[in-house]
Structure 1
């Protein structure tokens, strides 16, 4: 049974946010004996931030399981993280997270979340990532049911606009609801309110006016209000305001909340050109789950922040389709005209690419070595000539999932002060502190790992502090 927050009595643990990290923190704190409140800025229907749109999480494990096709060691996970971040990670913190992720699949299952059998196909994640049965919303609903059964109090449309501090100690939150602004006291605070990706003006502080052309894959409610407040109250900032999880999504997607169904997984099967019909990056650099999150940033650097994935008939059914159908043309010139591109320029780019493709045995399940020669930029894997009509294209823009600028934490998920040391009773989990692990880059499912591992740590730490 859902119970609203009682503003007239202090709580042991106040959790701000409503996604995976917040729920893991609230459940862990409640199971440790704390009286817990959750304040979620979004309406109930839109609760959960980006968790609503996720599909899977990445955890280390030593053997195959009912839902995973093989082992994924701590060292392999760490190597993957180092590769995608190019070393820009807090290594001790990352190793701790990976080590604790080994128990997370069991713990999450104990909270009511169910997983489906491992997936095959082009995502290549059957061994490394566990997929939620029913997707992110089903996972989220399971966590909410558990929190409610445990007696966690939850109020929606409740935005924390300020916090009271006594030195380094959190005292109370100022909470804006549709009807009134109220004060809520608590013995400890867990900040799990996400990033600021929906705050276009804040994005423009780092990116400039090109941020106007960004699409926001998730909730319009993640505006970074709590993050701004924490930094203003003396918490230590970490990360670059221009670093984020940014993928190439269908340019026809809505400005906000298009979710995962607008993502395109076909880059590796064709070429990507800008609106001048120029290729600008190696489409076959690595297995897609380790490289898909670089493409938002790549498209952001192109004229007008727009690009086009071009491929032909043999590739049409090699990837999961997007919400929108591809643009189709019987010839390259017809396709170009529909995209409002220069037909002669696109024909030249395709013919130049085709001439550079070397013989090889195409295999979309591995790094197949099918490559180009004498072409800049090269295509180092999955290079096949684009010559069999009909021809297809998807227009893409940068799709921002979440931002990496956040607050610094230690291995207990305690928020650090700008002046040194830790805040007495403030913890953080999820996207609001993801920059500790993700200095740049992304690999599929790591956001959920960060949220669940640090959420559980934060909830346990905040509860122990409150009940000491």
Structure 2
């Protein structure tokens, strides 16, 4: 029997925040859209998040804290107001403005938004097809992408489309790709994300002539305490040690290895590349009260991070002296005397010669000297990747020679380069480039 063949204006591969936003934007402007999603439900990693749509509060902060391709970061910053205005026009639930890391944002009804996007697609004659794998993109004689061959348990379907957007969510679920494109230690990194974003978009794009440069090793993640189980998505936030940016991070040799104040998401990469791919996170009573028991955003649930970590298998200690912290570190395979000396040297340097501190700190020069002291062994966990297909500011997928692959666009984590060693909002990245890809494909 011949494979089924269907036609549409826009094919979107992936039903997360980026893909559904691209699909809904185009559908609202008259396109017939087919969304193909490998998972059993739409939403991807977005519906596992707290639903906070935020980004850098200025173009300068985007360049500093996003730390990726300036032109792509500018797209996120410039398109963010359009995204917020669209959400409001669609009646999506939204909080008042809130401070988030190095920017500003709103908590949105993320589940409601994904459902609204699907409704828009269906109202305009399109479909969202679940549990369907995209096997390959198809091209015409000129090399233009004209759709894809897909596989569902009911049979194979060829989708013909005027334009195709890849938005499969990155490659964080592939241990092989993590090791290749991020760091060898990343092969065994914990996954705090959906389990289906395994690099399919990168493979499809590369097979169609797009470039995966593989030079962007950045990713978004957090340092987590050691879990005795990792099958409950609620633990992704509960065990994340966001307050590491106010603490000290020491490697197995008992040495500081990064500017902790750049953010827990940046500390996660720095920890990944250390010996043993772990660190000792050390803080004091001041940090504990101000940061380790307070949610990172106002809509979060207050948790005592040390207590929660220990209850779920973490290795940590609360002690009255720095010497006791060193003894604990020794038992965990760290150089205990070096840990004690590092804490004491850090405190003395901040009082007597902060300008000589190495590595330096960009923020928070207060010493860690108020008992009790806290120490927790932490490990990197990944949410989504920053490297992907090379794109231009319009979301067009580019060849290694810098030419556009006709008919092919990428959005969200499939589009590499907007962020580098930093971070300025995952939902914002996904939604703004979803909008941008749909605009560039013809639905401005």
TM-score (norm 1): 0.79
Of 262-271 and 248-257, deviating more is 248-257
Q: Which runs of 4+ in 1 moved over 6 A?
A: none
Using the alignment, how far apart are the partners of 1:414 and 1:262 within structure 2?
Answer: 38
Quote how far apart the aligned CAs of 1:140 are.
3.5
Partner of 1:80: 61
Partner of 2:230: 254
Summarize the alignment of residues 149-298 of structure 1 with structure 2, pairs less than 5 Å apart: 149-166=123-140, 167-178=142-153, 180-207=155-182, 209-238=184-213, 240=215, 242-252=217-227, 254=230, 259-284=236-261, 286=262, 291-298=263-270
Partner of 1:63: none
Summarize the alignment of residues 55-204 of structure 1 with structure 2, pairs less than 5 Å apart: 55-58=51-54, 72=57, 77-84=58-65, 86=67, 88-91=68-71, 93-119=72-98, 123=100, 128-134=103-109, 136-137=110-111, 139-166=113-140, 167-178=142-153, 180-204=155-179
User: Which of 319, 338, 348 matches 1:330?
Assistant: 319
Partner of 1:310: 282
CA-to-aligned-CA distance 1:147-173 (integer Å, 9 cap, x gap)? 455554112221212111113222332
Of 262-271 and 152-161, deviating more is 262-271
Using the alignment, how far apart are the partners of 2:393 and 2:183 within structure 1?
Answer: 34
Using the alignment, how far apart are the partners of 2:124 and 2:48 within structure 1?
Answer: 22
Partner of 1:48: 44
Quote how far apart the aligned CAs of 1:336 are.
4.9
Partner of 1:300: 272
Distance change >3 Å, CA 464–CA 391, structure 1 → 2: closer
Quote how far apart the aligned CAs of 1:15 are.
0.7
Partner of 2:339: 346
Distance change >3 Å, CA 145–CA 264, structure 1 → 2: farther
- Note if contact 2:284-2:369 (Cα within 8 Å) is conserved in structure 1: yes
Using the alignment, how far apart are the partners of 1:237 and 1:379 within structure 2?
Answer: 34
Using the alignment, how far apart are the partners of 2:161 and 2:252 within structure 1?
Answer: 53
Residue 406 of structure 2 corresponds to residue 424 of structure 1: yes
Partner of 2:428: 449
Distance change >3 Å, CA 227–CA 212, structure 1 → 2: closer
Distance change >3 Å, CA 355–CA 179, structure 1 → 2: same
- Note if contact 2:221-2:383 (Cα within 8 Å) is conserved in structure 1: yes
Quote how far apart the aligned CAs of 1:461 are.
3.8
Distance change >3 Å, CA 156–CA 317, structure 1 → 2: farther
Distance change >3 Å, CA 149–CA 262, structure 1 → 2: farther
Gaps of 5+ in 2: 296-302
CA-to-aligned-CA distance 1:114-170 (integer Å, 9 cap, x gap)? 2212335xx556xx3222245x44543454455455554112221212111113222
The two structures, once aligned, show a CA RMSD in angstroms of: 3.1
Quote how far apart the aligned CAs of 1:299 are.
0.3
TM-score (norm 2): 0.83
Distance change >3 Å, CA 232–CA 312, structure 1 → 2: same
Partner of 1:413: 395
Of 391-400 and 410-419, deviating more is 410-419
- Note if contact 1:243-1:405 (Cα within 8 Å) is conserved in structure 2: yes
Gaps of 5+ in 1: 1-5, 61-71, 360-370
